[in-house]
Amino acid sequence: MPSRRACWPPAGHTEPEPRLRASIGRAGRTESLLTPLRRASEAAVFHEARVHNLTVVRRSSFSPRAGLVGLVLAAAVSLGGCGGGATAQQADPGSATATSAPASTTAPAPAPRTSAPTDPAAAPTPPAAVAGSAMAAAQQLEVKGRAPKTGYERDLFGSGWVDVDHNGCDTRNDILARDLEGETFKPGTRDCVVLTGTLADPYSGATIAFVRGNGTSNDVQIDHVVALSDAWQKGAQGWDGGTRVAFANDPRNLLAVDGPLNGQKGDADAATWLPPNKAYRCAYVARQVGVKATYGLWVTQAEQDAMVRVLSTCPDQPLPEGFGAAGSAPAGAAGPAPAPAPAPAPA
């Protein structure tokens, strides 16, 4: 039989002691009303004492306090302990004490969650480069850090546009005549000086009307796809003057484009600027790769990563026409020297 200290107060009740004192006080004042209660509690006490093999001493006089306490004690014992559990203690009248272990109500601990292992094969991988493609050439470019821009001047690559092909026209007019549609020429210049035309701008995808004049000529500019300053910082410092002039006027490195976009690009490489027209990015990067491979210019790691990232969307993009292996710079350019021919084998 559980002790009163361990079992009181029952679960769900608050502040039992004031209620008990109030009940006892009322019981003392209404003695005559508690006679049935005394009898019932006394019978319950003796019944529980007999069940649990306890000794109860009859008292000649039953006080209201004792009767009420006995009633509470009997009710607690009959309910099977403090917790009001569903399991009641059953004991043999002849045994001293009998206890039964309460049924466990603790739910089993949930199994720990384990995340599914990451499958390395599920990660996207760039497509393999096609032999002879721009992507394969980009992966073969030399990777080095950017050299200082110290000492760079535009005139080191020639004073403005020159006539490197000796056709009587400077390079700017040659590129305008090549890239514009419906062009007209200034009379008396042997179709050399372009006056008007229409440009399908590759950088923006827009159509631009070109009109030669002080306020309109800059609407269309000639862009060095590999900027002269960028070339200076990645190998051109070591070139001679003839090589730099040939590089600045090489038609393979020149495009007629939207003037404001050309100014926005400046001397940026593929890691820091790409044409807004995404449909032209593969061709643009392939041209940069061809120029750098031809002239033996190196790239930074970030630049090569950007080139490969763009060309991975078009792994079979070829190099533009006219580009070959490294060292195929035009005549007069001091590009990387070709490997010496092997000596003939002895007879």
What does the pLDDT look like over 160-183, one tens digit per residue?
A: 899 988 999 999 999 999 999 999
Beta-strand ranges (E) seen in 15-165 are none
What pLDDT, on the 0 to 100 scale, is given for residue 306? 98
- pTM value is 0.60
What pLDDT, on the 0 to 100 scale, is given for residue 97? 41
Residue-wise pLDDT tens digits, 178-207: 999 999 999 999 999 999 999 999 999 999
What pLDDT, on the 0 to 100 scale, is given for residue 340? 37
The two three-digit tokens of residue 308, written as one number: 């490969």
The two three-digit tokens of residue 242, written as one number: 């003839």
What pLDDT, on the 0 to 100 scale, is given for residue 322? 84
- What is the average pLDDT value for the chain, to the nearest integer? 75
What pLDDT, on the 0 to 100 scale, is given for residue 10? 52
Ranges of residues in the chain with a pLDDT under 70 are 1-127, 129, 324-347
Residue-wise pLDDT tens digits, 317-343: 999 988 865 444 543 343 433 333 344
Residue-wise pLDDT tens digits, 265-285: 999 999 999 999 999 999 999
